[in-house]
Chain A
Amino acid sequence: MGTRSSRDIAAGLLFLVVALAFLWFAQNHAFGRPNRMGPAFFPSVLAILLGIMGTAILVRGLRAEGQAIGPWPWRAMLLVLGAGVLFGLTIRSFGLIATVPAVVLVSSFASRQARPTTSLILALVLGLFSILVFAYGLGLPIPVFGRWLGG
């Protein structure tokens, strides 16, 4: 893909941005002196190091040939990560009984081979399994029914 490595360029930029962010927010704290390191001392030194390395990776990416990043699997990312967020948002209110099947159902369609019936069965099986094992078996402090379902 051309004469540049977009993977290196993106990685370098990412490291550089993170380094600058840490350096910027470290300004809120005292730097101190070597014999009395302030809260900003260690992070600032690290951020400068990361910035240097990010720049080096960026420069290398601009000069050397390399691989393209390739298309992002938006659907899979959205469904898997979204299902995780859904779990965090709904577990308190709806409990395992509703949340787990919903999470399984949503995430199962991230696979290109998903079929509605198998997803439905999987959702029910895993829902039952997690109630029996996590809530009753291991006694984890996670509600089975949740606030809105009278739990």
Chain B
Amino acid sequence: MELLGDIGLGLSVVLTPLNLGWCLIGVLLGTLIGVLPGLGPAATIAMLLPVTFGLPAVSSLIMLAGIYYGAQYGGSTTAILINLPGETSSVVTALDGYQMARKGRAGAALATAAIGSFFAGTIATALVAFLAPPLAAVALRFGAAEYFALMVLGLVASVALARGSVLKAVAMVVLGLLLGTVGTDVNSGEQRFTFGIPELAEGINFVALAMGMFGIAEILTNLDHEATRTPLTRVIGSLLPSRAEMRRIVGPILRGTGLGSLLGILPGGGAVLAAFAAYALEKKISRTPSEFGKGAIEGVAAPEAANNAGAQTSFIPMLTLGIPSNPVMALMVGALTIQGIQPGPQVMTEQPELFWGVIASMWIGNLFLIVLNLPLIGLWVRLLTIPYRLLYPAILVFCCVGVLSLNNLPSDVFVMILFGLVGYVLVRLDCEPAPLLLGFILGPMMEEYLRRALILARGDMTTFLTRPISLALLLLTLAIIVVLTLPAIRAKREEAFEETPA
């Protein structure tokens, strides 16, 4: 019954006017940016990091989390109504959701998405509450060698589930780790790779790097694909799915929730992969696979449940191990570090109100979303008429003001712009920026754990192989690398991401 007490503690933290307010702001902002194409949760959270300085740690995390799962709701609205997925995780929802809308069943599709998301969100929140404490208990017994091995595993696994070339993704991780070494070395006090620039003494500013890579670089990427859009306002129709439709969505929602929760926990997983996998699964087990792509309600229910479940369970590795599984979680780690909290298993014992408050806020946030979003659909649709050419100058200004307000140093603006350029060039060369960010945030921790592990082992490199947990983690890493390089698996992995509509 300890769990009930913990959840009660969490609820008591969330159910204060202040935190409820931040939760509401978070989910509304999340829905908003989910609706607006070309502005993702990573960029938004990066932009808002400076704002969170003045907030208590709990409030800032509650708001940032709300943005992440709120974006999944918003993205599906536009995917269904105008075949324009606001988020990558809603790409598959557009396949059948838009077809349903064309048949006059937009209301039912939207309601299915909302019901599926809410159900998945509830289950996933419970899962986080159940799984996190035992995982954290295990992690508390980890020594430096185990932590180092765990980080290697996390970084390699995050690559495994990313799109595109594995080799390039690993190179991006290493590049991120290297960028993390810029600045004063904590042990010797020597300044590394700073070229005597005083602003670099404390390392490359994480927020400036993240904003550049996700905010600025994304503006340039989106401008590449700028096209004239004529959004259509269409009849939404009855909001309630029919009885027959209700029966059809139960199975897909359950399976989507299960699959999504599982994939969310894995490093590199999260909402996007969960949605793709759930859609593929439903299509495979359906008795009428030919209906998929032509308005099958199962094709809306499953990925919507999965992306919301995945978005929430991806908090588990971040909250318990301090290891982010995707760029959004890396930004959350950044937000915590800025608040002076070192993410890791000790958070649960030392800051229970933070840990359980965030978990409880997820369920409250989902409740907000389902209550608020269905009535607000009209407003969201109208927002879609904002063209990107009016949006990106605002994004640019917000990024500049945000990064400047960090330390009041114009040099941070220049660092952000530089990484905007670097990020854009890398994207053009098919190198995804997400692994770099994960490497950058884990780099300093990894070096420290490596140093400590080697000191304890008196310089004996085999320490990572003689300690059982560390050995198991490294063997798992090796297995992932071997599996990834097998041609058959590589083909399958590419296939999993192929469901994108033309």
Contact = CB atoms under 8 A, between A and B. Distances in A.
Contacts of B216: 80-81, 84
Contact of A35 (B188, B408, B454): B454
Contact of A43 (B181, B411, B421): B181
A104 B393 contact: yes
13 contacts: A35-B458, A37-B447, A42-B451, A57-B167, A87-B400, A89-B410, A96-B401, A100-B401, A103-B400, A122-B390, A130-B397, A134-B405, A142-B405
A88 B199 CA distance: 14
Nearest to A83: B396
Given A39-B192, A50-B171, A50-B178, A113 B389 contact: yes
B451 A47 contact: no
B328 interface: no
A34 B454 contact: yes
Nearest to B408: A141
Give the residue among B451, B455, B458 with the most A Cβ atoms within 10 A: B451
Given A50-B171, A76-B223, A103 B178 contact: no
Provide the main secondary structure of the chain B interface: helix
A112 B393 CA distance: 14
Interface string B389-419: 1101110110111001100101101101100
A7 B429 contact: yes
Category for how many chain A residues contact B: 35 or more
Give the top 10 A-B pairs by smallest Cβ distance, nearest first: A35-B459, A88-B413, A34-B459, A111-B389, A84-B417, A39-B185, A11-B429, A87-B400, A53-B171, A88-B410
Interface string B456-474: 0111110000000000000
A53 B410 CA distance: 35
Given A84-B400, A134-B401, A36 B459 contact: yes
B404 A91 contact: yes
A149 interface: no
A4 interface: no
Interface in B166-208: 167-168, 170-171, 174-175, 177-178, 181, 185, 187-188, 190, 192-193
Given A34-B461, A142-B401, A60 B167 contact: yes
A114 B390 CA distance: 9
Given A34-B459, A46-B174, 15 more contacts: A11-B171, A11-B426, A11-B430, A14-B429, A15-B175, A19-B178, A35-B457, A46-B177, A50-B178, A80-B219, A88-B404, A96-B401, A104-B393, A113-B389, A126-B397
Contact of B393 (A14, A26, A108): A108
B133 interface: no
Interface of A: 7-8, 10-11, 14-15, 18-19, 22, 25-26, 29-30, 33-40, 42-43, 46-47, 49-50, 53-54, 56-57, 60, 67, 69-70, 72-73, 76-77, 80-81, 83-85, 87-89, 91-92, 96, 100, 103-104, 107-108, 110-114, 118, 122-123, 126, 130, 134, 138, 140-142
B51 interface: yes
Given A50-B171, A53-B170, A85-B417, A130 B455 contact: no
Nearest to A32: B188
B167 A46 contact: no
A96 B76 CA distance: 36
A8 B460 CA distance: 37
Nearest to A50: B174
A97 to B, nearest CB: 13
A111 B226 contact: yes
A137 B400 CA distance: 17
Given A35-B454, A36-B459, A113-B389, A88 B400 contact: yes
B178 A22 contact: yes
A83 B223 CA distance: 15
Nearest to B54: A138
A96 B401 CA distance: 9
Contact of B396 (A36, A88, A107): A107
B431 interface: yes
Given A11-B168, A60-B167, A107-B396, A49 B223 contact: no
A112 B167 CA distance: 35
Give the residue among B224, B228, B400 with the most A Cβ atoms within 10 A: B400
Contacts of B455: 35-36
A113 B387 contact: yes
A84 B393 contact: no
B420 interface: yes
